[in-house]
Chains A and B, each alone.
Chain A
Amino acid sequence: MEVQIPLLTILLVLPFIGAIATLFMGGERAKSAKYVAGAFAGITALLSLLLFFANDLSFYDECYGWIDTAGLKMSFALGVDGLSMLMVFLTSVTVFLVILFSAAEKDRPNYFHTLILAMEVGLLGVYMAQDYFLFYIMWELTLVPMYFMISWYGGPRRHYAAIKFFIYTHVASLVMLIGIFALAFNAAAITGGGYLADFSFAAVAAASPLFGTTFQILVFGLLFFGFAVKMPIVPFHTWLPDAHVEAPTGGSVILAAVMLKMGSYGIIRVCLEVLPEGAVWWQPIVILIALLSIVYGAFACIAQTDLKKMVAFSSISHMGMVLLGIGCLSDAGVTFAIFQMFAHGLITTVLFMVCGLTGHNAGTREIPLLGGLAAKMPIYSAFMMFGFMASLGLPGLVGFWGEFGVIFSFYEYTVSIDMIWLIIFCLLSLLLTSGYYIWAMQRTLFGKETDKIDVAHVHDVSLSEGLALGVVCALIALFGLWPDLALGVIQTFSQGFISGVMI
Chain B
Amino acid sequence: MITDMFGSFAPMMPMVIMIIGALVMPALYFITKSRRLLPAASLVVIAASAIMTFLMLEAGYTGTYGSLFTFDAFSGLMLLLFQTVVFLAVLISGSSIETTRMHVGAYYSLLLGATTGMMFVATASDLIAIFVGVEVVSISSYALVAMKRNDPRAAEAAVKYVIIGGLSTALTVYGISLLYGVTGSTNLMDIGAALATAQFSWAFVIAMITMIAGYGFKIAAVPFHMWAPDVYEGAATPVSLFLATGSKKMGLVVFFKIFLILFVVAQTAFATAEIQYVFAIIAAITMTVGNVVAITQTNIKRMLAYSSIAQAGYIMIVLAVMNEYALTGGLFHMFTHVFMKGGAFIVVAALINVGLGERISDYKGLAKRAPLIAFAMMLFLFSLAGIPPLAGFTSKFVLFSAAIYDPATGVMSQWVWLAFIAILNSAISLYYYTKVVKTMYIDKPKDDAEKIQIPKTFMAAMVLCLVFVIVLGVYPQLILDLCANAAAAFF
Contact = CB atoms under 8 A, between A and B. Distances in A.
A338 B389 CA distance: 29
Contact of A70 (B325, B387, B404, B475): B325
A177 B423 contact: yes
Interface string A69-90: 1111000000000000000000
Interface string B420-463: 10011011001100110010011000000000000000000000
A35 interface: no
A181 B481 contact: no
B480 A186 contact: no
Interface stretch (B95-103, B191-199, B275-283, B405-413): B405-413
Contact of A174 (B389, B412, B423, B475): B423
Contacts of A68: 477
A182 B325 contact: no
Contacts of B268: none
Contacts of A159: 438, 442
B325 A166 contact: no
B398 A186 contact: no
A150 B382 CA distance: 18
Interface in A89-146: 133, 136-137, 140-141, 143-144
A170 B423 contact: no
A182 B434 CA distance: 29
Contacts of B410: 189
Q: Which of A147, A171, A174 has the most CB of B within 10 A?
A: A174
A151 B404 contact: no
B412 A182 contact: yes
Given A140-B387, A175-B423, A189-B410, A70 B401 contact: no
Interface of B is mostly: helix
Nearest to B419: A178
B174 to A, nearest CB: 38
Q: How large is the interface on A (under 10, 10 to 19, 20 to 34, 35 or more residues)?
A: 35 or more
B413 to A, nearest CB: 9
A197 B389 CA distance: 19
A37 B423 CA distance: 36
Contacts of B389: 137, 141
Nearest to B483: A70
B15 interface: no
B405 A181 contact: yes
B400 interface: yes
Given A174-B424, A181-B401, A181-B405, A70 B328 contact: yes
A163 interface: yes
A498 B398 CA distance: 34
Contact of A171 (B424, B477, B481): B424
Given A68-B477, A167-B434, A178 B405 contact: no
B480 A71 contact: no
A427 B483 CA distance: 59
Given A148-B441, A159-B438, A174 B407 contact: no
A69 B426 contact: no
A311 B459 CA distance: 48
A288 to B, nearest CB: 25
B223 interface: no
Contacts of B400: 177, 181
Contacts of B438: 151, 159, 162-163
A67 interface: yes
A282 interface: no
B401 A152 contact: no
A163 B434 contact: yes
B3 to A, nearest CB: 26
Interface in A157-198: 159, 162-163, 166-167, 170-171, 174-175, 177-178, 181-182, 184-186, 189, 196-197
B476 interface: yes
Contact of A67 (B325, B404, B431, B476): B476
B388 interface: yes
A133 B477 CA distance: 14
A171 B389 CA distance: 17
A144 B407 contact: no
Contact of A163 (B393, B431, B475): B431
A248 to B, nearest CB: 14
Contacts of B387: 140, 143-144, 170
B404 A181 contact: yes
B451 to A, nearest CB: 14
Contacts of A182: 404-405, 412
Nearest to B404: A181
B92 interface: no
Interface string B462-476: 000000000000011
A185 to B, nearest CB: 4
A199 B157 CA distance: 47
Interface in B197-252: none
Interface in B354-400: 382, 387-389, 393, 397-398, 400
B484 interface: yes
A159 B439 CA distance: 11
Nearest to B427: A171
Contacts of B427: 167, 170-171, 174
B387 to A, nearest CB: 6
Contacts of B477: 67-69
Contacts of A140: 387-388, 393
A178 B404 contact: yes
B428 to A, nearest CB: 9
Contacts of B431: 163, 167
Interface string B316-329: 00000000010010
B405 A197 contact: yes
Given A67-B480, A143-B387, A174-B423, A185 B442 contact: no
B430 A185 contact: no
Contacts of A133: 397
Interface string A35-75: 00000000000000000000000000000000111111000
Contacts of B475: 67
B412 A69 contact: no
B420 A170 contact: no
Contact of A69 (B388, B419, B430, B484): B484
Nearest to B386: A174
Contacts of A215: 412
A22 to B, nearest CB: 15
Contacts of A72: 398, 480
Contact of A185 (B405, B423, B426, B435): B405
Given A69-B476, A177-B400, 14 more contacts: A67-B477, A68-B477, A69-B481, A70-B480, A71-B325, A140-B387, A140-B388, A141-B388, A163-B434, A167-B427, A170-B427, A178-B419, A182-B404, A185-B404
30 contacts: A69-B480, A70-B328, A70-B484, A71-B325, A71-B407, A71-B484, A72-B398, A133-B397, A136-B388, A137-B393, A144-B387, A147-B434, A159-B442, A163-B431, A163-B438, A166-B430, A166-B434, A167-B431, A167-B434, A171-B427, A174-B424, A174-B426, A178-B404, A178-B419, A181-B400, A182-B404, A182-B412, A185-B405, A189-B410, A196-B325
Q: 6 tightest CB-CB pairs across the interface, nearest first?
A: A185-B405, A70-B484, A137-B388, A171-B427, A174-B423, A181-B401
